[in-house]
Amino acid sequence: MVEKAKSQGKYYLSNRDLLVVAVLSGIGGVMSTYVGYLGNLVNRVFGVPFGAGQFVSGLHIFWFILVAGLIRKPGAATAAGLLKGVIELLTGSTHGVPIILVSLVQGLLVDAVLFVTRRHNLIAYMLAGGIAAASNVFVFQFLYFSGAPMVYLFFISLIAFFSGVLLAGSFGYSVLEVVQQARPFRLANAPAKEVAAASPAAAEQRAPLIRFRFVVTTILVLLLASGAIYYFATVFEPPWVGPSCRVEGAVEKPLTFQLSDFKQHETTITAELKGEFTHVPPQEYTGIPLSIIIQEASPLAGAEKLSIIATDGYKVDFSLQEVLGDSQLLLIREEDMLRLIAGNYEGGYWVKMVNRIILE
């Protein structure tokens, strides 16, 4: 009996299942880099370095809901989580290797909730999406011990939970309904009640609702796809290019440089990172003063503002005159990225993965 069950695909992922996991995990891993960019945009709107981006965290879980809904076998979302994390790392995640653990835990939680509820319906997907999305807050806390107050962690995890409910559970359920109407996958693993609900007669009764969901889902997908195309075409810089930076805007000599181009100006400072929730004691940093790089580009008369932009879209602004007179602003190479050390500023100004400097 066991062999028969295995031959029917009950206890393992078939070739079709593996293909679904691979395709959706691949798309999800690439898109999660863009979602991180969206999160940084939200942070900037709220004026904080991190936390507010949890409003879009459900989009990371959306792919696991699709995998679980299309395959309907325990372990499918977990496999997708592991693969998505690896792909996200290779495509330049700002979180580095820990993103694999974060993604794996999220996929595992989606599987666990669906296994416990034993349902593949809207409520189960919303609950799975919410719990999985909120988990990233506590996994990062475990990995980095940020020392943030528990009230703050609870608040941003609550934001992540509702994001998962809406953008992963509800949105994922709508997409699954649209996909299943096209019937590219048989509902072989679904309960008889769900198969009956997918019958032509039932589908005809629900046609107006399905059309509405199709329109809304299509609009959301097009918006996300358009934003991703813009991001990867104009903002994103592949990690394999190497840590380089561009100075542009109100300058006489726009330039693209690497820190080695300014090796003769290398200096060492001692600085302390004093963030609202993160603190790094005073230590030495060696790199190139930002003022030297700006002077090389020759700012135009009238230039007043300088913006530092990271590959994920995070942005901070400085007064140009203050930058030119500040010896505690340093660009350093940290692993395979450029990082701004801002000794006289709070932690939100210590930008990682710097790749553009714009003068205005």
Helices (H) and strands (E) in the chain, counts: 13, 9
Residue 189 domain-assigned (yes or no) = yes
Whether 204 and 312 map to the same domain: the answer is no
Whether 137 and 285 map to the same domain: the answer is no
| pLDDT level of residue 64 (50, 70, 90 thresholds) | very high
Greater confidence (115 vs 53) lies with 115
How far apart (Å, rounded) are the C-alpha atoms in residues 160 and 129?
9
Whether 81 and 208 map to the same domain: the answer is yes
Residue 165 domain-assigned (yes or no) = yes
Which of 234, 252, 277 represents a domain boundary (last residue)? 234
Write out the DSSP string of 129-193: HHHHHHHHHHHHHHHH-----HHHHHHHHHHHHHHIIIIIIIHHHHHHHHHHHH-SS--TTS-HH
Residue 51 domain-assigned (yes or no) = yes
pLDDT of residue 3: 45
Fill in the DSSP letter of residue 251. B
Whether 210 and 62 map to the same domain: the answer is yes
DSSP-derived 3-state class of residue 110: helix
Q: Work out the average pLDDT over 210-216.
A: 75
Q: Mean pLDDT of all residues in the chain?
A: 83
How far apart (Å, rounded) are the C-alpha atoms in residues 125 and 132?
10
Q: How many other β-carbons are positioned within 10 Å of the β-carbon of residue 258?
A: 13
Whether 120 and 202 map to the same domain: the answer is yes
Residue 86 domain-assigned (yes or no) = yes
CB 345 within 8 A of CB 70: no
Whether 87 and 190 map to the same domain: the answer is yes
With a cut of 50, say whether residue 219 has pLDDT above it. yes
Greater confidence (270 vs 43) lies with 270
Whether 141 and 256 map to the same domain: the answer is no
pLDDT digits (tens, 9 = 90+) for 129-153: 999 999 998 888 887 666 667 888 8
CB 250 within 8 A of CB 303: yes
With a cut of 80, say whether residue 205 has pLDDT above it. no
Residue 74 domain-assigned (yes or no) = yes
Residue 239 domain-assigned (yes or no) = no
| pLDDT level of residue 48 (50, 70, 90 thresholds) | low
| pLDDT level of residue 9 (50, 70, 90 thresholds) | very low
Q: Work out the average pLDDT over 174-181.
A: 82
Domain, as residue range, for 123: 2-234
Whether 12 and 142 map to the same domain: the answer is yes
Q: What angle do CA 144, 145, 150 make, to 5 degrees?
A: 130
Q: What CATH number should be reported for the domain holding residue 338?
A: 3.90.420.10
pLDDT of residue 4: 45
Q: Which residues touch 149 (CB under 8 Å, ≥6 apart)?
A: 277
Q: Work out the average pLDDT over 88-102.
A: 82
With a cut of 60, say whether residue 250 has pLDDT above it. yes
Q: Which of 116, 122, 134, 312 is nearest to 232 (CA)?
A: 312
- Three-state SS sequence of 60-102: HHHHHHHHHHHHCCCCHHHHHHHHHHHHHHHCCCCCCCHHHHH
Number of domains making up the chain: 2
| pLDDT level of residue 97 (50, 70, 90 thresholds) | confident
Whether 256 and 147 map to the same domain: the answer is no
What does DSSP say about strands 354-359 and 245-249: parallel, antiparallel, or unpaired? parallel
Q: Which residues pair with 310 in a beta bridge?
A: 354
Which of 15-24, 43-52, 248-257 is predicted with the least confidence, judged by mean pLDDT? 43-52
Which of 234, 254, 287 represents a domain boundary (last residue)? 234
Determine which helix (DSSP H) or strand (DSSP E) holds 21, and give its type and residue range. helix 15-46
Residue 341 domain-assigned (yes or no) = yes
pLDDT of residue 216: 79
Whether 165 and 271 map to the same domain: the answer is no
Which of 234, 265, 286 represents a domain boundary (last residue)? 234
Q: What backbone phi and psi angles, to 5 degrees, belong to 323? A: -65, -45
Whether 23 and 74 map to the same domain: the answer is yes
CB 169 within 8 A of CB 98: no
How far apart (Å, rounded) are the C-alpha atoms in residues 245 and 257?
6
Whether 262 and 295 map to the same domain: the answer is yes
Residue 94 domain-assigned (yes or no) = yes
* Side-chain-side CA neighbours of residue 95 (13 Å): 26
